[in-house]
A and B are shown apart, each in its own frame.
Chain A
Amino acid sequence: MSLNILVVAEADHPFYELITKHYEVRGIEEAMASFDIYDYVIDCSQLRTQKKYYFIKELAHTTKAPVITDLSLCWGEWIYHNCPFVKGAISTLFYAPSKSLEFSIKDENDFQTKKVITDFYQSLNKEALYHQDLKLSFHYPRVISMIINEAYFSLEENLASKTAIDLAMKNGVSYPLGPFEWGEKIGLALIIELLRELREVTGEDRYKISHQLKLEAIKL
């Protein structure tokens, strides 16, 4: 039986075109204004934890559907704890150079949610990689954001040029992309949002953001 699924995504989502080929897609405002009923909602919005909480609460109420939500920028454990209508989580916002994307499900025996996610990833030409017991955040966005942030700290301290740092990481430790190339592909604003979230949740200074990264990310 085919499920009636709504995907919430804005036009700047990295997989927007692919998603629109396979799913009914609405932006955040449009989704909030609708009272259509669905079997599942897949929320790909870029909201951070608290805004996401209110959004998906409203979304679940109007659509009467279980929600799978993108938690690339959010405190996953908190969303799971406070949002009973969230059944699973995906991570699609950060450009990933390889074949897979991470996902999580609240109840590991919830095979239907798992299938909805794996089918969704398949439509993005990605394989689904299970992340057990989602805590602070998904692994890839967190680790890559810290690497890119450090590259920007190095740049602001005149350690080397962007080109030299990119070349060094690719040729010294075989990174698939240099950190600046990587940051451009992901979008610096997303990296900043995640680091802010990590700092707010943990209270740790290790997540402070490079001045240079902010300088280059904040565009009027």
Chain B
Amino acid sequence: MMIKKIAVVGAGTMGQGIAQWFLQQKIQVELIDQNFDFSLKSAKTIETNLETLMTKGKLSASDVEVMKSSLKVIKLEDISVSTDLVIEAIIEDKKIKCDLFSKLESLLNSKTIIASNTSSFPITELAASLSSESRSRFLGLHFFNPATLMKLVEVISGTETNKELSYKLTEWFNSKGKVACQCSDAPGFIVNRVARNFYGESLRACGVYDEKRFFEIDSVMKNVGGFKMGPFELMDLIGIDVNLSVTESVYNAFFNEARFKPHRLQKEMVSSGRLGRKTKRGFYQYES
């Protein structure tokens, strides 16, 4: 498989990280956002990041020049027809995503691979926004934040995705230093599903708001289990609202399966605005 040119739609944290990772593979990247000024700002951040890597001796000056010249900020209407791969990394709103995929289909040639970085919507449902001929080249590519550092890419095949395409993309990512894992189109895919009870069971072990108990469980999971962060400090970092939203999404998608049931403490924290580090109060309190 040859990938020479890609487009990333959505210049937020994930889109920016994905775009930078592809640039570091010396692949041409078109960065697109509905807010053009925002995509310019995002491109500037990428350039700064690349220069920082150069200062640290991780990239050469000539490589950085090549990467910077390979990045173009464009409007959606100007996307290159011959782009090999488009990755959508916009807001988690199904209708907005589906509208985008329909638009992309009308703008691109019939060989371009169309991928979504969704963490919550079934790939098969998103593929329904495309014509039946295009669904075989649609799949999920779920990157992890920060995309430049986290090696995992979940390669998700929908019901109509060409399995050979998924396999070749997996091989391609692995050849570029990522760890690509193929999975089927089930709620939460691999990580967001299997990791649910790192949080859910810890919340049940705690039961009620008890900062000492949060600390105890965090210490146990780090010092006994070898996890880098405990469940409560990690929820505070991710955002308790974000974590609850993922839990609810998986719980609903599995038709209220008890294993994924959210805990009332999560709901209570979100309802009272204690969302974690971003609000200075979560399971722990943070200095302002």
A residues apposed to B, CB below 8 Å: 96-102, 127, 129-132, 135-136, 138-140, 142-144, 146-147, 149-151, 153-154, 157-161, 164-165, 167-169, 171-177, 179, 204-206, 208
Contact = CB atoms under 8 A, between A and B. Distances in A.
A173 B261 CA distance: 21
B195 A136 contact: no
B224 A136 contact: no
Given A143-B202, A157-B186, A165 B223 contact: no
B224 to A, nearest CB: 4
Given A98-B226, A176-B225, A171 B179 contact: yes
Contact of B224 (A96, A174, A177): A96
Contacts of A130: 216
Contacts of A102: 220, 224
Given A143-B225, A206-B258, A160 B220 contact: no
A169 B197 contact: no
Interface stretch (B20-28, B36-44, B107-115, B149-157): B149-157
Return the 8 tightest CB-CB contacts between A and B, nearest first: A172-B152, A146-B197, A97-B226, A176-B226, A160-B183, A98-B226, A164-B181, A171-B152
B191 interface: yes
Contact of B205 (A96, A136, A174): A136
A127 B224 CA distance: 9
Contacts of B144: 171-173
Given A98-B226, A174-B228, A206-B261, A159 B195 contact: no
Contacts of B202: 139, 143
A49 B202 CA distance: 22
Contacts of B261: 206
B280 interface: no
A130 B151 CA distance: 35
B194 A96 contact: no
Nearest to A145: B201
Given A100-B223, A100-B224, A144-B225, A154 B194 contact: yes
B190 A165 contact: yes
A131 B151 CA distance: 35
A132 B212 contact: yes
Contacts of B227: 174-176
Contacts of B196: 150
A179 to B, nearest CB: 6
Interface residues of B, number: 42
A179 B147 CA distance: 23
A139 to B, nearest CB: 4
A172 B226 CA distance: 15
B223 A160 contact: no
Contacts of B184: 158-160
A147 B154 contact: no
A146 B226 CA distance: 16
Contact of B183 (A98, A147, A159, A206): A159
A211 to B, nearest CB: 14
A84 to B, nearest CB: 26
Contacts of B191: 168-169, 172-173
A11 to B, nearest CB: 24
B223 A169 contact: no
B256 to A, nearest CB: 10
Contacts of A164: 181-183, 190
Nearest to B191: A172
Given A143-B202, A160-B183, A175-B227, A169 B190 contact: yes
A127 B150 contact: no
B193 interface: yes
B187 to A, nearest CB: 10
7 contacts: A98-B225, A129-B220, A129-B223, A140-B224, A142-B205, A158-B184, A172-B150
Given A146-B201, A206-B259, A172 B190 contact: yes
**Residue in B198, B220, B224 whose Cβ sees the most chain A Cβ within 10 Å:** B224
A143 B204 CA distance: 10
A177 B194 CA distance: 13
Contacts of B253: none
Contacts of A135: 205
A161 B226 CA distance: 24
Most buried by B among A127, A136, A157, A159: A159
Nearest to A164: B181
B270 interface: no
A140 B220 contact: yes
